[in-house]
């Protein structure tokens, strides 16, 4: 009792000391940011400085290049951060009242208290997210799309940077004659090419025409000015690009420029910071604004902005809201803006930062932005209507690869914008484009279900006749055996599955209220969606084609190892190694291997061609494996590399369970090894082959990682699988009901496909 009393006194004394010391509860702000071009170091340092100024406050600021995937999941689950730059479907969030109107704060004082906060930003910086007279987005960086050029290379050849598109093509012709590729751009995702079309279009139509373009007004894409802008991009991608550009990421394209394989590169001003440490010694970076049309209505000095904006979520807590805005006020203060220039070497949206703070390589870009008399922002990804967004990805790819003319490109986008407007006006309408395919698919599924039912009934009757079924357990005994497992399975699998099934019959963006839609989502997928049918075809390809190579190879290698080939243990480890890496690591490894210029695949094929003196192998020097037209062919070696080891171990384990006496008897009868394989090995491991086939069916129908990563999370319609289409529909289009409908369809396909394979390949068990 005495010890207990002393302990209580000690605890009380400690609590009293803590109270006397003035310690307060810590308020933690959650601020995830996109860290692609600028990293997070400067922003984290700003958070630490703010914490020092505001005792009792912790700013949990963090980020990565794919932060939006994580934030989107949180938003759909209703767990919002305090502020973020991650691209989300902001219009829906604004309509749902989830974002803070920053107008009153911007009309108040800045951090220093010597000016109105909104007056401290460069002109036009706040207009992108001014909706109905209210401000929702807040910029810090002031990036712009520019044309970089190799100043030393230009000086050596006597070239001058182009100011107009006519000068650009004349210069490109001189470069080709000198044996230099004019330009490098990423082709794995071709959205960088949009900057060319946007610049050429704005130059012709000016601010008013650009406003109509960004609001998807009727006729804003099906006109002569847009055709002319698209033709500029088409000519550039056909006449001016470095070899193999279709298989390059943006970093590979920038490296091609820095390493001298191209004379120019189009990128945002974040490129200087992003490629820090990769500039070759003595490289002189030159920068000019994107070219213009002299006869256009646009301001020649105007810059095409690529800013990121901070948005503040409304948690219903005014004190927390004020604290979050206070942190953003500190982040956009003149002192922090000047430090951002020093640390990140990028222009900022805050007035009053002198140009001498920039590095020599960035000063030209900063001067271009500072001297711009107008700014136009590219349409934000999160503002693009879903159907139009997918059409843009597809049409852009077709334009840049010569499958569409400039006029066809513009007309296709005009039709997509009209379709989105019509969908908004008539949200329950469905255009039937795939009625025949839908009927065939449903008929095949119905036939498989009937056949599976017939096989099950026949098998059950035969088993009962042979006494193959056990007598049923008593209810209480059965509940004791399977009850706990069934309860856990029901809570973690069945209930979420039922919830998802219910969502599939609703229209829901994950933010507002759910509305009952019946079979609408399924009708859109089956009857209207081109992407769904293309994805289904790609899944069937990945289910069948790699299996035709994987299964025979795995059987061959397993058979050799089972026979005791020299170095069997080493070969087992080598074959299993890809499975130890994991899907994402293996995919990134292959992405590097498939690089057109520095990848080991092209280098190996060219080296082999040189040794064998075979010209067609030498032509792989800059082959773009990851271009959309080559992607699925490039997936086959990856599937073989990743799947052979797993299936080999599966088959080998089954082979090692076969009685060796069977092989001894066959050898005594004079049976050769190949005959023993087909007469003994294959029948004895047949059940394992069936399991392997089921895995292949499931893997083919659920294929995601490879396609998602190799297309840099932006697959076109021709590249989608059902899984990538589901993720895109849910986390980019915010159409949760339709995404869950895709999940339901996938479940049906996997279930029926797996059962069909198991029943179709079933045969009498062979006992050793």
* 139 and 308 Cβ atoms separated by less than 8 Å: yes
Q: Give the H or E element holding residue 84.
A: strand 83-84
Q: Which two tokens stand for residue 405?
A: 């003319």
SS (H, E, C) 579-617: HHHCHHHHHHHHHHHCCCCCCHHHHHHHHHHHHHCCHHH
Q: Is there a single domain that holds both residue 545 and residue 671?
A: yes
Domain C-terminal end among 347, 377, 407: 377
Interval 663-717: pLDDT, tens: 888 888 888 888 888 888 888 888 888 888 888 888 888 888 888 888 888 888 8
Helical H segments across 401-468, by residue range: 406-425, 435-465
User: Are residues 105 and 153 located together in one domain of the fold?
Assistant: no
Mean local confidence (pLDDT), 649-655: 88
> pLDDT tens-digit profile of 402-457?
999 999 999 999 999 998 888 878 878 888 889 999 999 999 999 999 998 888 88
Q: What is the CATH number of the domain that holds 628?
A: 1.10.3720.10
- Give the Cβ contact number of residue 44 at 10 Å: 16
- Do 662 and 550 fall into the same domain? yes
pLDDT in tens, 500-528: 889 999 998 888 888 999 999 999 999 99
Global pTM reads 0.83
Query: What average pLDDT does range 356-366 have in this prediction?
Result: 86
Local structure of 63: helix, strand or coil: strand
Whether residue 684 sits in one domain with residue 621? yes
Do 352 and 222 lie in one domain? The reply is: no
Instruction: Tell me the residue range of the domain where 173 lies.
Output: 144-298+386-425
pLDDT of residue 3: 44
**What would the two tokens of residue 622 be?**
């800059």
Same domain, 133 and 173: no
CA gap 190, 168 in Å, rounded: 20
Q: What is the pLDDT of residues 139-164, one digit of tens each?
A: 988 889 999 999 999 999 999 999 99
Measure Cα distances from 325 to 1, 82, 100, 332 in Å. Answer: 53, 9, 10, 11
C-alpha to C-alpha distance for 693 and 687, rounded to whole angstroms: 10
DSSP 373: S
Q: How many domains does the chain have?
A: 3
Instruction: Decide which of 232 and 94 is more confident.
Output: 232
- Token pair listed for 734: 């915010």
Residue 680 placed within a domain: yes
Domain shared by 535 and 643, yes or no: yes
Q: Given pLDDT bands bounded at 50, 70 and 90, which one contains residue 320?
A: very high
Rounded to 5 degrees, φ, ψ at 676 are -65, -35
Residues facing 30 on adjacent strands: 60
Same domain membership, residue 88 and residue 164: no
Rounded to an integer, what distance in angstroms lies between the CA atom of residue 336 and that of residue 332? 6
**Is 332 within the bounds of a domain?**
yes
Residue 535 lies in a domain: yes
Residues 681 and 578 grouped into a single domain: yes
575 with 715, same domain? yes
**352 and 399 in one domain?**
no
Q: Are 94 and 136 in contact (CB under 8 A)?
A: yes
Please check whether residue 271 is in contact with residue 346, taking contact to mean a CB–CB distance below 8 angstroms: no
User: Which residue, of 377, 396, 411, is where some domain finishes?
Assistant: 377
- Yes or no: say if 586 and 638 are a contact pair by the CB < 8 Å rule: yes
Cα dihedral value 739, 742, 744, 746, nearest 10: -140
Domain membership of residue 431 (yes or no) is no
Place of tokens 């088993």: 463
The pLDDT score that the predictor gives to residue 619 is 86
The verdict on residue 395 lying in a domain is yes
In a domain? residue 649: yes
CB 148 within 8 A of CB 155: no
At 334, the pLDDT band (50, 70, 90 cuts) reads very high
Q: For residue 272, tell me if it sits in a domain.
A: yes
Give a yes or no: residue 458 inside a domain.
no
Q: Is the pLDDT of residue 737 over 80?
A: yes
CATH at 32: 3.40.190.10
Identify whether residues 236 and 371 lie together within a single domain. no
d(CA 159, CA 175): 9
Query: What residues pair up with 262 in beta bridges, in sequence order?
Result: 181
Asked if 556 and 714 count as a contact pair (C-beta separation under 8 A), the reply is no
Q: What is the pLDDT of residues 257-266, one digit of tens each?
A: 999 999 999 9
**SS3 of residue 87 by DSSP:** coil
Ordered alpha helix ranges (H), 222-356:
224-239, 250-258, 271-274, 318-331, 334-344
Q: Specify the pLDDT at position 346.
A: 85
Residue 707 CA from chain centroid, whole number: 9
E strands, 274-397, are 285-289, 303-305, 309-312, 375-377
């Amino acid at each position: 009792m005495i010890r207990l009393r002393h302990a209580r006194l000690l605890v009380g004394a400690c609590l009293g000391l803590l109270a006397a010391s003035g310690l307060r509860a810590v308020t933690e702000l959650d601020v995830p940011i996109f860290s692609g071009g600028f990293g997070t170091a400067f922003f984290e340092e700003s958070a630490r400085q703010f914490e020092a100024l505001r005792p009792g406050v912790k700013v949990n600021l963090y980020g990565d290049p794919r932060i939006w995937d994580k934030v989107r999941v949180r938003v759909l689950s209703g767990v919002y951060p305090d502020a973020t730059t991650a691209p989300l479907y902001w219009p829906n969030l604004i309509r749902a009242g989830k974002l803070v109107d920053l107008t009153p704060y911007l009309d108040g004082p800045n951090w220093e208290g010597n000016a109105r906060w909104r007056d401290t930003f460069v002109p036009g910086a706040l207009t992108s997210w001014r909706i109905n007279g209210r401000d929702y987005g807040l910029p810090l960086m002031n990036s712009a799309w520019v044309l970089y050029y190799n100043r030393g290379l230009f000086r050596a050849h006597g070239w001058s940077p182009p100011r107009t598109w006519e000068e650009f093509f004349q210069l490109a012709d001189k470069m080709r004659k000198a044996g230099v590729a004019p330009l490098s751009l990423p082709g794995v995702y071709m959205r960088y090419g949009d900057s060319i079309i946007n610049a050429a279009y704005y130059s012709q139509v000016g601010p008013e025409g650009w406003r109509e373009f960004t609001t998807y007004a009727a006729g804003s894409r099906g006109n002569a000015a847009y055709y002319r802008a698209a033709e500029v991009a088409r000519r550039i991608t056909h006449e001016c690009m470095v070899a193999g550009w279709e298989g390059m990421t943006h970093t590979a394209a920038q490296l091609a420029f820095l390493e001298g394989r191209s004379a120019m590169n189009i990128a945002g001003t974040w490129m200087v910071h992003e490629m820090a440490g990769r500039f070759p010694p003595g490289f002189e970076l030159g920068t000019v604004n994107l070219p213009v049309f002299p006869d256009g209505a646009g301001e020649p000095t105007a810059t095409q902005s690529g800013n990121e904006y901070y948005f503040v979520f409304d948690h219903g807590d005014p004190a927390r809201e004020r604290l979050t805005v206070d942190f953003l006020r500190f982040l956009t203060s003149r002192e922090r803006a000047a430090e951002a220039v020093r640390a990140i070497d990028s222009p900022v949206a805050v007035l009053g930062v002198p140009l001498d703070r920039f590095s020599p390589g960035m000063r030209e870009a900063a001067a271009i932005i500072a001297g711009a008399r107008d700014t136009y922002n590219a349409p934000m990804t999160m503002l693009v209507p879903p159907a139009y967004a997918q059409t843009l990805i597809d049409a852009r790819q077709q334009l840049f690869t010569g499958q569409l003319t400039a006029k066809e490109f513009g007309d296709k986008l005009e039709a997509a914008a009209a379709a989105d407007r019509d969908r908004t006006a008539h949200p329950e309408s469905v255009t039937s484009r795939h009625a025949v395919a839908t009927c065939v698919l449903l008929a095949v599924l119905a036939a498989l279900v009937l056949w599976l039912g017939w096989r099950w009934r026949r098998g059950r009757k035969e088993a009962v006749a042979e006494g193959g079924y056990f007598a049923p357990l008593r209810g209480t005994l059965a509940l004791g055996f399977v009850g706990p497992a069934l309860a856990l399975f029901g809570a973690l699998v069945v209930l979420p599955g039922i919830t998802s099934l219910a969502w599939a019959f609703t229209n829901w963006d994950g933010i507002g209220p759910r509305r009952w839609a019946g079979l609408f989502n399924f009708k859109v997928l089956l009857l209207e969606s081109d992407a769904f049918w293309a994805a289904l075809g790609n899944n069937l390809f990945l289910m069948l084609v790699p299996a035709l190579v994987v299964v025979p190879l795995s059987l061959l290698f397993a058979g050799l190892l089972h026979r005791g080939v020299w170095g069997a243990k080493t070969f087992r480890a080598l074959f299993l190694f890809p499975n130890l890496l994991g899907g994402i690591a293996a995919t990134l490894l292959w992405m590097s291997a498939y690089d057109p210029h520095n990848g080991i695949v092209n280098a190996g094929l060219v080296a082999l061609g040189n040794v064998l003196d075979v010209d067609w192998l030498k032509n792989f020097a800059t082959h773009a494996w990851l271009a959309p037209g080559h992607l699925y062919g490039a997936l086959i070696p990856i599937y073989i590399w990743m799947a052979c080891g797993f299936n080999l171990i599966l088959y080998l384990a089954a082979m090692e369970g076969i009685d060796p006496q069977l092989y001894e008897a066959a050898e005594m009868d004079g049976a050769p090894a190949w005959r023993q394989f087909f007469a003994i090995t294959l029948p004895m491991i047949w059940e394992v082959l069936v399991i392997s086939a089921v895995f292949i069916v499931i893997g083919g129908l659920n294929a995601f990682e490879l396609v998602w990563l190799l297309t840099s999370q932006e697959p076109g319609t021709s590249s989608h699988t059902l899984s990538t289409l589901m993720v895109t529909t849910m986390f980019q289009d915010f159409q949760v009901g339709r995404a869950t409908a895709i999940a339901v369809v996938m479940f049906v396909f996997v279930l029926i496909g797996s059962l069909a394979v198991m029943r179709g390949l079933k045969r009498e068990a062979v006992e050793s």
